[in-house]
Amino acid sequence: MKPSKRLDQIPPYLFAELERKIAAKRAAGVDVISLGIGDPDTPTYAPIVAAAQAAVADPSTHTYPSNRGLASFREAVARFYDRRFGVELDPETEVMPAIGAKECIFNLNLAFLDPGDIALASDPGYPVYTGGPLLAGAEPYLMGLEPERGFAPDFGAIPDAVLERARLMFINYPNNPTGAVAPDGVFEAAIEIGRRHDVLVVHDNAYSETTFDGYVAPSFLSTPGAKEVGVEVFSLSKGYNMTGWRCAAIVGNAAAISEYWRLKSNIDSGLFEAVQLAGVAALAPELDAEVRAMNAVYQRRRDLVCDALAAAGVDVTPPKGTIYIWAPVPSGFDSAAAYCEYVLEQAAVVISPGGSYGPNGEGFFRISLTTPDERLLEAVERLSRL
Ligand SMILES: Cc1ncc(COP(=O)(O)O)c(C=O)c1O
């Protein structure tokens, strides 16, 4: 069997490798604490589960869903966007469900890129921003996110020859892996590139509901002009503890969403309607209190980890959002991967090397806060003993 050249060009998915390593250690009886994957450790909020139970028992959800999605799901997303972000969306044309943000981000590559085209990808960034273009036969161009710029790309540094070939741009705030929130002007600058160079701007909004210290994350679509050149992919995975459900929505530019629909009607058969109805329950105002309580938990864990790292001499900035701590690798290690290997071997703690999110992540490591407090504390204590 010979895999395609397309598949051979991309590295193995980061967490697939990590999972293999953890399994091998655990099989050998080692007490491994994984702070690798950003997968919430607490259950989906009870009202969402109850709505899903009722929906699963209703035979009307048992048939093929339409790719356009249930009107009730699209309307719930539109109401949420209005209430939460002050963004008006037409539920008929400007909202569609996605089988998780990952599916959506990947398929946007297939819908908008041809060989020779370029996708502008935040670096460090969610790996699908680079794997997606490659699998679509196109190329990613890495836009470095520098700490000095608040982790905004330096749009002015992108060569004209790249901008001429660019068709897509991937940005993401609050940001995985750096934890940065949208720096002033970043959305305006992205929109300007989109306008001038006919680039579809894709804002990956996986973390807007997970913020701390009173910070409220905006939608990309609340920036004037965003809807003319862009879409936002809103995921329920992290904010609602729903990673396993695969529930997200693409919102914004109607023409782009229509092309995404045209592609998907040839690829999959839509999002299980019971999951869409669970999404409707999640986005109701009554669930805001659950989200706030969850954020208090993550904020406490963030402080616990940052305090312990700071006490161990690590120069770490507590993030205002996301479920990640992004910190510099201590001196004496050749690479972030070497440090993470060392930590796994010596402390049986799994952390992610920054370089696996792109070359600009080199020199950093990422800790996920999706582990109960005692285990998190134990992990950080093991780290500081090294
Ligand atoms: C930035 C970012 N986008 C998208 C995703 C995937 O979201 P979903 O579970 O909706 O596919 C993640 C998950 O870690 C993420 O960090």
pLDDT above 90 (res 306): yes
Residue nearest to atom 14 of ligand 1 (CA): 38
- Cα(40) to centroid of ligand 1, in Å? 12
What is the mean pLDDT of the segment spanning 67-94? 98
Is any ligand 1 atom within 6 A of the Cβ of residue 180? no
Assess whether pLDDT exceeds 80 at residue 213: yes
**Mean pLDDT for the stretch of residues 116-134:** 97
Residue 16 has pLDDT above 90, yes or no: no
Distances (CA, A) of 381 to 107, 315, 376: 42, 16, 9
Share of the chain above pLDDT 70, in %: 99
Phi-psi region of 252 (alpha: psi -120 to 50; beta: other; left: phi over 0): left
How far is the C-alpha of 80 from the C-alpha of 341, rounded, in Å?
43
Question: CA–CA distance from 280 to each of 60, 249, 270, 290, 373 (Å)?
Answer: 16, 11, 16, 15, 31
Question: Range with the lowest mean pLDDT among 23-37, 97-111, 284-298?
Answer: 23-37
Helix, strand or coil, per DSSP, at residue 119: strand
Cα 235 to ligand 1 centroid, rounded to whole Å: 7
Give the residue, out of 104, 108, 126, with the most ligand 1 atoms within 8 A of its beta carbon, to mutate for a pocket test. 126
Cα 233 to middle of ligand 1, angstroms: 10
What residues have CB less than 8 Å from 237, skipping those under 6 apart? 100, 101, 206, 243, 245, 247, 248
* Arithmetic mean of pLDDT over the chain: 96
Atom of ligand 1 nearest to the CA of 248: 10
Backbone φ and ψ of 322, nearest 5°: 75, 180
Query: What is the pLDDT at residue 160?
Result: 97
Dist. CA 348 → ligand 1 center (Å)? 26
Q: Is the CB of 176 under 6 A from ligand 1?
A: yes
For residue 171, what are the contacts with CB-CB under 8 A and spacing of at least 6?
A: 122, 153, 186, 187, 190, 201, 202, 203, 204, 220
206 Cβ closer than 6 Å to some ligand 1 atom: yes
In tens, the pLDDT along 29-38 reads: 999 999 998 9
pLDDT of residue 141: 98
pLDDT > 70? residue 125? yes
pLDDT tens digits, 172-187 = 999 999 999 999 999 9
Q: What is the pLDDT of residue 13?
A: 64
Please state the atom number of ligand 1 nearest to the C-alpha of residue 322. Answer: 16
**pLDDT exceeds cutoff 80 at 14:** no
Give me ligand 1 centre to Cα 206, in Å. 6
Give the per-residue pLDDT at 11: 77
Give the torsion sign (CA, 360, 365, 367, 368): positive
- Determine the pLDDT at residue 90: 98
